[in-house]
Amino acid sequence: MSWIVAVILSLLTAACASMGRPEGGPLDQTPPVYLRSNPAPGEVRFNKNRIEIYFDENVQLDNPQTKVVVSPAQRLNPQIIAGGKRVTVELRDSLIPNTTYTIDFGDAIADLNEKNPLDGFALDFATGDSIDSLRVSGMIFQARNLEPAQQMLVGVYSNLADSAISTLKLERIARTNQLGQFTIRGMKPGQYRIFAINDLNHDYKWDRSEDVAFYDFIIEPSAENIVVTDTLLASDGTDSITTRPGVRYLPNDILLSWFNENYTPQYLGDYKRTDYTRIALNFAAPADTLPILTIINGKNAGKRIDHTNSILSTSLKLDSLDFWITDPDIYTQDSMLIETRYKRTDSLDNLTWRTDTLRFNYLRRTKKKEKKKNDDDTIQPALLLDFKLLNASPQDLNKGLRFQVSQPLDSIDPAGIHLEIKQDTLWVPVKSPVLRQDTLYSPLRYKADYLWQPGARYRLTVDSLAVKGIYGYHNASLQKEFDVKTYEDYSTLTFNIADSTGTVVVELLGSNDNPLMTLPVVNGSVTFDFLNPGSYYARAFYDTNRNGEWDTGNIAEKRQPEEIFYYPKRIELKKNWDIEQSWNPVELPIDLQKPYELLKNRPKNNSNKPPEEENNEEEDEWGSGYVPGSQYNNNHNNNYNRNTKGSARNSALSR
């Protein structure tokens, strides 16, 4: 009997050892397949508010309230739910007679397990006897940095008036996918203007604070018959070529660049008395005119707070103002009523002068200090001015010294500032740097330019009492030793850019996509000197107004933002390297210019590696985009133009 027990135990042990998760087949990477729907694709005389769509597997929805768009726009958002293999849409608005409707799901539908999205799925039906079938397609990018515009609302107007964008709802709408691509469906023949907005308040029209894009030309949707070539793969691995009739919908190469006008109505946001010597005013937007401040109470009534009795600290935007009052009669006044005249945006969106009376109080709080036994009434604590050197070691050859102070300065004694250079073991005095205010409205920042000896070691000494503030405070002594870099510590980068306009400006970028240096192209080239080793990127823009800065667009002026281009590669620099690169800004399509490492709006289902380039010029019989009953191809190539009459750029359209 013992051998029987042993056999049973061994069988049980084997059974337990074999228990576990069974191996499955290959990972499912196929999105759900449309089977049928009510209404059917292209159905006419449909008058129900409930739409049901069936797929070949269980499905789920990703953020349908944002991604799913019903066109024409609904006053109330539809209710969209997924259950099993079915997606149900309940329209909560009454259907408009004789109208073509499109429900564009974008990439909201995915299978339940692997979450493979069905990108570009849309369903068209009509409430009348015929259906409008024309469509237009394109791509949208952020004008400043060429980021694909994800989930941006794009639509058209048949009303060609300039005011339509801000007064009327968009007539036919769609949303961009993760690559910034869009297709507006269900359009009638005719002329249209096309816009894109981020529509923060969901009113389907543009407000000046919202992001916006517009096309320079009127579009006329059309369709043409084409022959589509398919490659069929047999089970034995061989393939064959077959053709079938198809339709191409035009235009399919609309390129929009969204921007923000950076419009903010001007008004006084807040004001305060920071301490007894200083008052601050903060405005909502940049200004070109300073306010007029007049005291109207007390012994100083009638006095102006301006350059004669105060020092202004602000940026060039003049939106945040700090007045350091220098007149003791004024700053010792505990309560001040100040008549403030400033420019404010009125109800007609114009800047007009406004006068307010503002009260500035300062409550002095004093604490009695217990006198200690050994206190000497004749010794007063020093009033110290915070005076800092901002530079670090090693010192850059091409940069001067930078200082920061805690209050505007009354005087600087040059005799109290010493600079020495180390020769062998001795410190030898050299010409001292001259400190001056950094900019007109930056009284807390000082600089001192200097011609450094490469590789040398310096010692800076600032004697105590050499720097005096406007309120009598003095600095403590300061001493700092630092080394200076050599020319061999740097790299030089030159771009040769073929430009006949003479208006190209190049921005050298860091890994965060922010400009480090900005220089204009002169005689076809631009050179960046004194670059530290590291990774760099570059972009350029056409400086059409020649002000040296990138400028945004303006709807009322029909002015596009200045055009941006990216150098498509990362540039690695090492010490003592001189690199020269040729750069044709329009050589690559707009959606392939920005280096993948800088791209922030990446498709969620993509890996961290750049997508492989594909070249597929075929279109299905429905044109670009997935429509039930057709085989969806996710890589249509089209010619993208900044505008149809401007410079052409080939671009891969995958919608």
pLDDT digits (tens, 9 = 90+) for 552-584: 999 999 999 999 999 999 999 999 999 999 999
Helix (H) or strand (E) holding 503: none
Question: Are the C-beta atoms of residues 531 and 571 closer than 8 Å to each other?
Answer: no
Which amino acid appears at position 17 of this protein? A
Contacts 24+ apart (CB under 8 A), 48-53: 49/90, 49/91, 49/92, 49/95, 50/88, 50/89, 50/90, 50/91, 51/88, 51/89, 51/90, 51/91, 51/103, 51/123, 51/125, 52/86, 52/87, 52/88, 52/89, 53/86, 53/87, 53/88, 53/89, 53/123
pLDDT at 8 over 60: no
- How crowded is residue 224: how many other Cβ atoms within 10 Å of its Cβ? 10
638's tokens: 């089209």
Residue type for 212, please?
V
Going from the C-alpha of 604 to that of each of 177, 489, 653, the distances in angstroms are 11, 41, 18
Does the pLDDT at position 106 exceed 50?
yes
Task: Identify the pLDDT of residue 612.
Answer: 46
Three-state DSSP at 6 gives helix
Fold of 384-488: Immunoglobulin-like (2.60.40)
Distances (CA, A) of 150 to 84, 107, 176, 320: 28, 11, 6, 34
Q: Could you give the CA distance from residue 180 to residue 196 in angstroms, rounded to a whole number?
A: 11
Ramachandran bin of 431, using left for φ above 0, alpha for ψ from -120 to 50, beta for the remaining angles: beta
Q: Specify the CATH class of 34-256 in words.
A: mainly beta
Predicted structure pTM score? 0.82
For the domain made up of 491-607, give the CATH fold.
Answer: Immunoglobulin-like (2.60.40)
Instruction: With a cut of 70, say whether residue 475 has pLDDT above it.
Output: yes
Beta bridge partners of 192: 219
Instruction: Write the CA distances from 236 to 25, 29, 240, 424, 499, integer angstroms.
Output: 20, 22, 12, 82, 54
Residue 145 pLDDT greater than 60, yes or no: yes
Chain-centroid distance of CA 180 in Å reads 14
Tokens of 302: 């009638």
Q: How crowded is residue 488: how many other Cβ atoms within 10 Å of its Cβ?
A: 10
Q: Where are the domains of the chain?
A: 34-256, 268-361, 384-488, 491-607
Query: Span 258-272, mean pLDDT?
Result: 95
At residue 655 the predicted structure's pLDDT band, cuts being 50, 70 and 90, is very low
Residue 167 has φ and ψ, to the nearest 5°, of -120, -25
Q: What is the pLDDT of residues 612-636, one digit of tens each?
A: 443 333 333 333 344 443 333 333 3
Mean pLDDT across the chain, nearest whole number? Answer: 87
pLDDT value at residue 364: 64
Given CATH 1.10.1060, say whether it is the number of domain 268-361. no
Which is more confident, 40 or 120? 40
pLDDT for 4 equals 45
**Residue 316: what pLDDT?**
87
Percent of residues, the chain, with pLDDT higher than 70: 85
624 by Cβ neighbours in 10 Å (0-12 / 13-18 / 19+) ranks as buried
Same fold, 34-256 and 384-488: yes
Assess whether pLDDT exceeds 50 at residue 427. yes
Are the C-beta atoms of residues 313 and 444 closer than 8 Å to each other? yes
Q: Tokens 């009534």: give the residue.
A: 301
User: What is the SS3 assignment for 278-315?
Assistant: EEEEEECCCCCCCCEEEECCHHHCCCECCCCCEEEECC
Judge contact between 539 and 565, C-beta under 8 A. yes
Say if residues 172 and 184 touch (Cβ distance below 8 Å): yes
pLDDT band at residue 382 using 50, 70 and 90 as cut-offs: low
Cβ atoms of residues 219 and 251 within 8 Å: yes
The phi and psi torsions of 516 (rounded to 5 degrees) equal -100, -40
Q: How many CA atoms lie within 13 A of 158 on its CB side?
A: 7
Distance CA 511, CA 532 (A): 14
